[in-house]
Amino acid sequence: MDPALLVQGQLDAYNAKDIEQFMTYWAEDAEYYAHPNQLLAKGVDAIRTRHVTRFQEPNLFGKLVYRDVIGTIVVDHELVTRTFPDGTGTVKVVCIYEVRDDKITKAWFLMGQPMIDQDTR
């Protein structure tokens, strides 16, 4: 499968908050990092647990701003809407995915500062 199509599929499942579909894109031993090297989750069980909680946010949505593909590496620039402790807002996220054998094997996430909506403070 084209790495860009695979990453788009997992983004679509993320936005639909469909945990079962979302997990089909991840390798059994996938690693999930805060960039550059803080391991946040290893393996599908840990990645699932992390996202079950995230998918409970009523306004969760990742808007793709730009995507680049270099071989098996997909780099997405996203604007993600979330519910933060201080209110609803958005955060810029750079997502780097390594794809092997039609699965995401590693992912790194670089997050900006949340921008809280004025009316939710």
pLDDT digits (tens, 9 = 90+) for 38-78: 999 999 999 999 999 999 999 999 999 999 999 999 999 99
Average pLDDT of the chain to the nearest whole number:
96
pLDDT of 120 strictly over 60? no
Structure tokens at 24: 């089909």
- The CATH number fitting domain 3-120, selected from 3.30.530.20, 3.40.50.261, 3.30.56.10, 3.10.450.50: 3.10.450.50
Dig out the tokens for 94 from the structure: 């750079």
Half-sphere exposure (CA, 13 Å, Cβ side) for 90?
10
What residue segments make up the domains of the chain, in order of their start? 3-120
In this prediction, residue 4 has a pLDDT band, given cuts at 50, 70 and 90, of very high
3-state secondary structure 67-105: EEEECCEEEEEEEEEEEECCEEEEEEEEEEEEEECCEEE
What integer pLDDT is reported at residue 50 of this predicted model?
A: 96
pLDDT, position 61: 98
